[in-house]
Structure 1
Amino acid sequence: MSHAAEPSRYFVPTPSFWPLVGSGALLLLAFGAVLTMNSVANGAWVLLAGFLVLLTMLVGWFGRVITESEAHLYNLQVDRSFRLAMAWFIFSEVMFFAAFFGALFYVRVLAVPDLASPAQALLWDGFANTWPTAGPAAKELFTPMHAWGLPAINTALLLSSGVTITWAHWGLIEGKRTHLVAGLALTVLLGLVFLSVQWVEYQEAYDHMNLKLTSGVYGSTFFMLTGFHGFHVTLGAIMLMVILARAIKGHFTPERHFAFKAVAWYWHFVDVVWLILFVVIYWL
């Protein structure tokens, strides 16, 4: 869309009921989670209803935004608002993972050496300052997950997906929609393969390595960090599927395609987080 064809005023959407639907979904999710964790009858159904209502809200609300965008109701000022919102969203995700990385740093650099110090010998005599460890009160042995196996394969997969989505972006800018669609499709495929390999890794950890979420401080930090990252990969793959469907329908132009850029930013963020995870969780 050319600058001359842009709306002269900032677009203000009409009142929407989707925020109310989203609030209802969050209420159902909260109640469902509490009921399920306390083994209350039908709690799982309430939780499922929350997810279904949330999915309905996402499809309806984002579908409305897509319709407005394709109707050329957004000008450059709206585009800047979207960019700022996405930047703050990714920053919030950075802080989310920073909290877990901070917890891991505290455990490895401060807590474990302190528990193994002579000052704590009366409480934890014989506890050694080694990592990985389940902690001084651990009773079950486990085998830590090594870097040069499935994690290394997943690293290669995510790095490759960063290349394919960049190729897709290049195809969009150059007006080569075949490259755009192919690059997006390959990125989605690589993301799904990553999740499949992670599932196999978790099965290996539980069935053969006795490494579980309950395996002390190492198990909890390992599964919290890698599990939340897997959740973000799942979310990113879903967003990429939506962008792929839109690209196939002919959406986006070389000049105006922020929805594509937003998802690409998010995917690159997921890549960077995994590289840090690979180093501090698997390698060091």
Structure 2
Amino acid sequence: MIQNTGIKKLSFYHRRKIPRTPFHIVDPSPWPVLMSIGLWGLATIFICWVNKVDYGHLFWGVLIVAMTVYGWARDIVNESTFQGFHTKKVQMGISLGFILFLISELMLFFSFFWAFFHSSMSPSVEIGCCWPPVGIECLDWSKALLHNTALLVASSCTVTSSHKYLKDGNFTHAVALLIMTVFLSGFFVKNQYDEYSWASFSIADGVYGSAFFMLTGLHGMHVIGGTCGLLYSLVRLLLRQYSTRRHLGYVLAIWYWHFVDIVWLALFFIIYIWGS
């Protein structure tokens, strides 16, 4: 009688439908809260820097952001690569979220381009009714800036080739081309810094200086962020954490880099050529 009761209980649990989901039910994490605190510290540092107030005691914000980025990335790698929580459905959700993020970034750049067009197509009396405003010497786009454009276009080609080699299983060529992409992006940032050093105007020189440095500076920050994403992918590629079929992080980094490249082409033709 006891055995029959036990068999009935086992058969009951065997027939019971266990609820399953293709989505990753994330465990409680401290990283969103810590990232919010760190970003608040960075925003405070920026405000103090603009107003020429001492902000040395606020560098804890930088440390918190760096620590949070490392910890969050480590958890994502563990969940996706070693625990297998990133199913096809999860990857589709991540890809969709990243596409929406790129659209929001596009809208951000669009707002500054709108400000540039608004000021340049109907220049006011305060700036001499002309564009560029009186006293502004525009940078020559046919030299260093054209070189910068070639660097970014070349980097876009090398990272695409690296991705193709990765899908073909040629890890050596994929790593080599990704390293080349990182070097090209480094040269771009260096040339951009030199451009700022050569410029005869600053962000305080009227609407032209404000629009110019906001657009190019914002793009430069995105280049640095994209380079960090490529370096992250390079480390994971060297550790063989990417396979020929599963490398979503690398794909998203490539999408971001192509976005940065397209924005630069718009900057080059609108700000440097047409706007000058």
User: Structure 2 length normalisation: TM-score?
Assistant: 0.87
Change (3 A) 1:26 1:247: same
Question: Identity rate of aligned residues, in percent?
Answer: 35
SS in 1 for 2:262: helix
Give, in whole Å, the separation in 2 of the partners of 1:215 and 1:28: 29
AA at the equivalent of 1:56: M
* Equivalent residue for 2:92, pick from 65, 68, 80: 80
AA at the equivalent of 1:99: S
User: Structure 1 length normalisation: TM-score?
Assistant: 0.85
> How big is each residue's C-alpha offset from its partner over 1:243-270, in whole Å with a ceiling of 9 and x where there is no partner?
0010000021221111111000000000
AA at the equivalent of 1:273: V
What residue is the counterpart of 2:11 in the other structure?
none
Alignment coverage as a number of residue pairs? 254
Question: What stretches of structure 1 of length at least 5 have no aligned partner?
Answer: 1-6, 117-123, 135-140
Q: CA deviation at 1:29?
A: 2.4
Change (3 A) 1:38 1:276: closer
AA at the equivalent of 2:154: S
Q: CA deviation at 1:273?
A: 0.2
Change (3 A) 1:132 1:150: same
What residue is the counterpart of 2:3 in the other structure?
none
Give, in whole Å, the separation in 1 of the partners of 2:51 and 2:204: 19
2:273 is equivalent to residue 273 of structure 1: no
Give, in whole Å, the separation in 2 of the partners of 1:179 and 1:272: 25
Does the Cα contact within 8 Å between 2:23 and 2:89 map onto a contact in 1? yes
When structure 1 is superposed on structure 2, of 30-39 and 10-19 the one drifting more is 30-39
Q: CA deviation at 1:217?
A: 1.4
Does the Cα contact within 8 Å between 2:22 and 2:90 map onto a contact in 1? no
SS in 2 for 1:148: helix
SS in 1 for 2:183: helix
Change (3 A) 1:159 1:253: same
What residue is the counterpart of 2:218 in the other structure?
228
What residue is the counterpart of 1:60 in the other structure?
71
- Give the CA RMSD over aligned residues: 1.7
What residue is the counterpart of 1:102 in the other structure?
114
Give, in whole Å, the separation in 2 of the partners of 1:33 and 1:275: 28
Change (3 A) 1:131 1:34: closer
SS in 2 for 1:253: coil
Larger radius of gyration: 2
What residue is the counterpart of 1:163 in the other structure?
157
What residue is the counterpart of 1:181 in the other structure?
175
Q: CA deviation at 1:234?
A: 0.4
